[in-house]
Structure formats: C-alpha cells, structure tokens
C-alpha cells in the first residue's frame, strides 16, 4: 500500500498471536478470521512488511498448527516462536527474541488482532522512535471508551511515565482516555535485558510487556508515547461484533481511496471489497456489489447492482448486471447479465454479450459474439461475431469425461440447440432451431438435426372429446370451414392449393 519505508530497518518485528480469542466463540483461531480478503494476522503482516524487517517473528500458542500452516502460505519468511503457556505479553516477547538471538537494532512489537494499523503509522512510529533516540516508543491512542485497556500515565512534563493495566489502575488512572495500543518500537538490546527483570506482581499474575516502559525509564532511558493519527487504526478484535465494525471501517477506507481516485460508488454502505481489488477511473459500482480477491474493474466499466465478482477482470466500458462471476475475464465493452453466472475459465472478447440466465464455464467467447438467453456454455470455443440461439446447451459431459466444442465465426445457431461435444460448427454456418448437433457442421452449411413435424388432424376432437380444448378446436374448425366456404365461393382455385398442401 505504501512505499514509505522507515528510514531504519528494524532488526525484528514481533507479532503476538498466541492468545485464544475466547470471545469469538469460534473453531477458527481469532487471528485467522478473514477481513476484506486477508486474515486479521495477514493484515498485520502486510503492515509489518512495509518496514522491511530483517526478521519477522510470530508468537503462536493457541491452535498453533492452524496458525503455522497459514503462515507457511502467506508469509513463508516468518519464523514462529512457540509460547506453550500464556504467561503474558512480556513472556511472549521473550519467547520471540529467543528464536532470533542475534537480532540487533530496533524491535517492533505488534498485536496479531489489530488489522487496521497502516504502514504509514507504523513507519511514523519507527521514525519517531529513532529520531528521538528512545529506548521504547509506544503507539498510544485517545479512544472514546478505554475500558479494559492499559492507560498511558504521563508525568508533569507530559512525558511517558508508565503504562498501567485497567485492573491495576487507580480510579484517577482509569479516567485517562489515552490508551496503550499494544504496539511498540524498542531498542532491542535494552528490551532483552529489561524482559529478564519482569515480575508477575500484578492483578493477573502475568509478565506484562508494558512494565518494560517503567523499567527503562527508571534506568534513565528516554521513553515516549506517540498518539496514533486515528484511534481506529489501533482497534483490536475481541468478538464478532467488533470484527464486523472493523470490516465496515476497512471497507470505508478502501472505498474512500477509490472514490478519490475517480471511481463512482453509488451506495458505499452496500459495497464490499477486498484489499487487493482495483477499481478504474470513471468506473461505476452500483449498490449491493461484492468484489473479492484480485478482481479488477476497468476504466468506465459498470458493475451491479447485485453482483458478486471473485478474481474477475472486467474490461474497460464493460457492464456486469446481477451476475456472479468467478475467475472470469470480461473483455472491454462486453455485457454480462442480468442473471448470469460466469465460472472459472470464462473469457469474453471485446463487445461479447452474455445475456439473461446464461451460465458459462471454461469457454472462450470471441469478439462481439453473443449468448443472449437461457443457455449453458461449458468447455467451448466460440469465434467472433457469432450468435448462439436462446436456450442452447453445450453438452460437454458424457458422464465420465468433459469434451470441448468449437463454434466458428459469424455462425448463427438456432434456438434450443444441443451441441454434443466434441463437435465443431464451421465459420459462417447456421443450425436449425431445436437441433441436437452431434456431427460437425461444415463452414457455410445449415445443420438440421431434428425429426420432421407431423400433424394428426382432428386428434383432439376424437380423443379428447368434451374437453375445453376439443370445444375450442370445434369452434375454430367451424369458423375455418365457414371462411373456406366463402372463399371457395369466390375462387375455386383455393381448393386445389389446399389439396397440394396435404
Ligand atoms: C494488552 C496490553 C494493554 C493494551 C492492550 C491493547 C499488556 C499487559 N497489556 O492488554 O496495555 O491496552 O493489549 O490491546 O500487554 N498474547 C500472547 N501471549 C500471551 C498474552 C498475550 O501472545 O501470553 C497476545 C494476544 O494473543 C494478543 C496480544 O498478545 O494478540 C495482547 O494480549 P491480550 O491478552 O489481548 O492483552 P490485553 O490484556 O488486552
Ligand atoms: Ca486485547
């Protein structure tokens, strides 16, 4: 997101993620809950990476296997420190430093469940820490409700004196609105020695990382608290209500950025998007749209209302209305929907059209070709400027294997065709409505694959006598007979033509 790397690379960033997250009431570890395309932990790692640390250490404990497996996937450079017992944040950081014994320079400590922290703020924390030559710099925040959080206690001169946990705080201290975000920059060597001197002499009987601040200050080292520019960046996630609020905040932040870059978002409250989604200039996002993964919306394209796109590329000036698209490529000026389902491997050329109630999978549909109505196109290649008749099915599955069909360019297929794969329809060919195409149609040919129609005259009046249908038929026959009688009176030639038609 940012290119503003800190002026000094930290020796290590330590991310605390051993806690259980009981209040999530989940089988999934808290830090693995998803938020706009990344896990909570994934967001923290993304911010940490902007600092380009020499070591990235994640402290794992609860549901450790799941967290480690996730890290292997998203951050193979991370090393993990195992904290077998949750003995406090100070204990957790000590575990972390044990796995990187050679670390020198600055050590940054982050919480694995604080996903809105930006790389900019983190960079500012590290830069301020270095500029002041501090032993410890804590990121603080003035919050509307500090309940449960550690308070920033300042001395008469406004300097940081200590961090006091809610449970250990006096009534006066509890009235302080400036809190400890849990994020710090430390002088690594001083941190390492201070951690050895932590006690468990507090209300929770734990080793508090926060006590390091007062210890270092007591030894005469400079410490300070840097207030975050926006307290919301420091919000943690303890339950699913907080998770939903964080998601809305992140959504707002992402959409604001895209709107300022030139995208129209008609109703930001009903649009959800992942962090890696890209929106073009003059693109319009209508209400009730979800954009996931690596979805890219091109310049001037319109998406929505009511569409969900995952890892889908929408070309310039294309429109997508009430559609579900997964790993599809939609060409420039193409139109999709309403009520279309594009599955993986769908590639639509420029100005191609996928209309109402059409499903497409693993198919290439060339420039300006159309599948306008009620069809399934699976495993097909369709050339340019071709039209597929309404209610057609590419019969791609023989019960064991999938097969591919090819339709050329400038082809016109009739409505209600079955293309039984593998089959090829050549350039410029036509097919008749209602055909089951099992054999190739050569270029320019008309493929007809249906039985001839036969009418059994008078069948309804004979076999369904007394029904409203029979009565209607009788009336129609009487009217026709009368008309024919009048007509024959005028021109006996009509009798001959009627006979020829039999
Ligand atoms: C901590 C801070 C508090 C701060 C708050 C911000 C301490 C003593 N208190 O409180 O000042 O306002 O964070 O959210 O540091 N963790 C471990 N191992 C442990 C304990 C915790 O990895 O043994 C991890 C947790 O998973 C979590 C983070 O450390 O990611 C913070 O732990 P938590 O229990 O939430 O600390 P708080 O009591 O909220
Ligand atoms: Ca917490």
Closest CA to 353 of 338, 368, 343, 341: 368
pLDDT at 413: 98
The encoded tokens of residue 379 equal 């495993």
Looking at the DSSP bridge assignments, the partners of residue 160 are: 154
- Residue 33 catalytic? no
Q: How far is the CA of 236 from the centre of ligand 2 (A)?
A: 6
pLDDT at 169: 96
User: Is the CB of 112 within 6 Å of ligand 1?
Assistant: yes
Q: What is the DSSP letter of 251?
A: H
Q: How far is the CA of 3 from the centre of ligand 1 (A)?
A: 29
pLDDT at 6: 72
pLDDT at 496: 42
Q: How far is the CA of 114 from the centre of ligand 2 (A)?
A: 9
Mean pLDDT score, 136-162: 96
Q: How confident is the model at residue 501 (pLDDT cuts 50, 70, 90)?
A: very low
Q: How confident is the model at residue 495 (pLDDT cuts 50, 70, 90)?
A: very low
The per-residue pLDDT for range 345-392, each reduced to its tens digit, is 999 999 999 999 999 999 999 999 999 999 999 999 999 999 999 999
User: Is the CB of 125 within 6 Å of ligand 1?
Assistant: no
User: Is the CB of 87 within 6 Å of ligand 1?
Assistant: yes
Mean pLDDT score, 121-126: 97
Nearest ligand 1 atom, CA 87:
23
Q: How far is the CA of 34 from the centre of ligand 2 (A)?
A: 18
pLDDT at 500: 34
Nearest ligand 1 atom, CA 163:
11
The size of the chain, in residues, is 502
Closest Cα to atom 26 of ligand 1: 19
Residue 502 has pLDDT above 90, yes or no: no
For residue 100, count other CB atoms closer than 10 A to its CB. Answer: 19
Q: What angle do CA 119, 124, 127 make, to 5 degrees?
A: 125
Q: How far is the CA of 143 from the centre of ligand 1 (A)?
A: 17
Tell me which of 4-13, 33-42, 446-455 is least confident: 4-13
Ligand that lies nearest to the alpha carbon of residue 239, given by its number in the listed order:
2
User: Is the CB of 89 within 6 Å of ligand 1?
Assistant: yes
Q: Are 408 and 369 in contact (CB under 8 A)?
A: no
User: Is the CB of 17 within 6 Å of ligand 1?
Assistant: yes
Closest Cα to atom 25 of ligand 1: 19
Nearest ligand 1 atom, CA 30:
26
Closest Cα to atom 1 of ligand 1: 182
Nearest ligand 1 atom, CA 90:
15
Nearest ligand 1 atom, CA 113:
30
Please, which residues have CB within 8 angstroms of residue 96's CB and are 6 or more apart in sequence?
A: 12, 14, 57, 59, 81
Mean pLDDT score, 312-338: 98
Ligand that lies nearest to the alpha carbon of residue 19, given by its number in the listed order:
1
The per-residue pLDDT for range 68-113, each reduced to its tens digit, is 999 999 999 999 999 999 999 999 999 999 999 999 999 999 999 9
Q: Say which of 62, 221, 373, 403 is annotated catalytic.
A: 373
Distance of CA 209 to the CA centre of its chain: 36
Ligand that lies nearest to the alpha carbon of residue 242, given by its number in the listed order:
2
User: Is the CB of 180 within 6 Å of ligand 1?
Assistant: yes
**Mutation probe of ligand 1 site: the residue of 17, 61, 89, 174 with most atoms within 8 A of C-beta:** 89
pLDDT at 5: 67
Closest Cα to atom 37 of ligand 1: 149
Nearest ligand 1 atom, CA 180:
12
Q: How far is the CA of 473 from the centre of ligand 1 (A)?
A: 84
Q: How confident is the model at residue 477 (pLDDT cuts 50, 70, 90)?
A: very high
Ligand that lies nearest to the alpha carbon of residue 237, given by its number in the listed order:
2
Residue 489 has pLDDT above 70, yes or no: no
Mean pLDDT score, 263-278: 98
Report d(CA 16, CA 59) in Å as an integer.
5
DSSP 461-494: HHHSTTSHHHHHHHHHHHHHHHHHHHHHHH-THH
Q: How far is the CA of 151 from the centre of ligand 2 (A)?
A: 13
B/e letters for 414-428, b = 16+ CB within 10 Å, e = fewer, are: bbbbbbbbebbbbbb
SS3 track for 380-407: EEECCCCECCCCCEEECECCCCECCEEE
Closest Cα to atom 36 of ligand 1: 89
Q: Is 13 exposed, middle or buried (0-12, 13-18, 19+ CB in 10 A)?
A: buried
User: Is the CB of 90 within 6 Å of ligand 1?
Assistant: no
Report d(CA 396, CA 418) in Å as an integer.
10
Q: How confident is the model at residue 484 (pLDDT cuts 50, 70, 90)?
A: confident
The encoded tokens of residue 485 equal 């009688």
Residues within 5 A (CB) of ion ligand 2: 236
User: Is the CB of 369 within 6 Å of ligand 1?
Assistant: no
Q: How far is the CA of 238 from the centre of ligand 2 (A)?
A: 7
């Amino acid at each position: 997101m940012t290119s503003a790397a800190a002026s000094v690379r930290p020796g290590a960033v330590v991310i605390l993620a051993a806690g259980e997250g009981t209040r999530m009431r989940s089988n999934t570890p808290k830090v693995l809950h998803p938020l706009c395309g990344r896990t909570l932990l994934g967001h923290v790692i993304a911010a940490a990476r902007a600092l380009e640390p020499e070591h990235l250490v994640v402290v794992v404990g609860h549901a450790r296997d799941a967290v480690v497996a996730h890290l292997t996937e998203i951050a193979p450079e991370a090393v993990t420190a195992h904290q077998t017992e949750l003995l406090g944040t100070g204990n957790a950081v000590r575990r972390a430093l044990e796995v990187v014994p050679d670390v020198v320079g600055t050590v940054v400590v982050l919480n694995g469940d604080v996903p809105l922290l930006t790389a900019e703020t983190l960079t500012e924390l590290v830069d301020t820490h270095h500029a002041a030559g501090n032993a410890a710099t804590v990121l603080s925040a003035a919050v509307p409700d500090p309940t449960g959080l550690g308070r920033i206690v300042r001395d008469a001169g406004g300097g940081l004196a200590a961090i006091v946990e809610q449970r250990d705080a006096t009534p006066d201290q509890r009235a302080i609105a400036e809190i400890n975000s849990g994020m710090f920059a430390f002088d690594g060597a001083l941190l390492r020695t201070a951690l050895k001197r932590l006690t468990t002499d507090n209300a929770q009987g734990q080793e508090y990382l926060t006590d390091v601040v007062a210890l270092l200050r007591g030894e005469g080292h400079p410490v300070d608290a840097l207030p975050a520019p926006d307290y919301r960046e420091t919000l943690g996630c303890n339950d699913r209500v907080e998770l939903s609020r964080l998601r809305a905040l992140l959504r707002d932040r992402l959409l604001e950025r895209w709107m300022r870059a030139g995208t129209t978002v008609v109703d930001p409250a009903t649009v959800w998007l992942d962090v890696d989604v890209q929106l073009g200039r003059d693109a319009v996002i209508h209400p009730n749209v979800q954009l996931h993964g690596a979805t890219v919306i091109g310049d001037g394209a319109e998406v929505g209302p009511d569409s969900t796109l995952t890892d889908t590329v929408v070309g310039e000036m294309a429109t997508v209305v009430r559609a579900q698209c997964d790993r599809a490529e939609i060409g420039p000026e193409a139109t999709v929907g309403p009520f279309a389902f594009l599955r993986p491997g769908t590639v639509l050329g420029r100005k191609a059209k996928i209309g109402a109630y059409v499903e497409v999978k693993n198919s290439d549909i060339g420039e300006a070709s159309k599948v306008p109505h009620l069809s399934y196109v699976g495993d097909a290649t369709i050339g340019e400027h071709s039209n597929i008749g309404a209610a057609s099915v590419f019969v791609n599955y023989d019960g064991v294997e999938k097969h591919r069909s090819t339709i050329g360019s400038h082809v016109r297929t009739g409505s209600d065709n079955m293309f039984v794969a593998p089959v090829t329809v050549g350039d410029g060919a036509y097919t008749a409505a209602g055909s089951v195409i099992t054999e190739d149609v050569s270029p320019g040919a008309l493929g007809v694959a249906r039985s001839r129609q036969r009418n059994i005259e008078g069948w309804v009046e004979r076999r369904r006598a007394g029904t409203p249908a029979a009565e209607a038929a009788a009336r129609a026959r009487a009217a026709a007979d009368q008309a024919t009688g009048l007509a024959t009176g005028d021109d006996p030639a009509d009798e001959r033509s009627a006979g020829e038609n039999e």
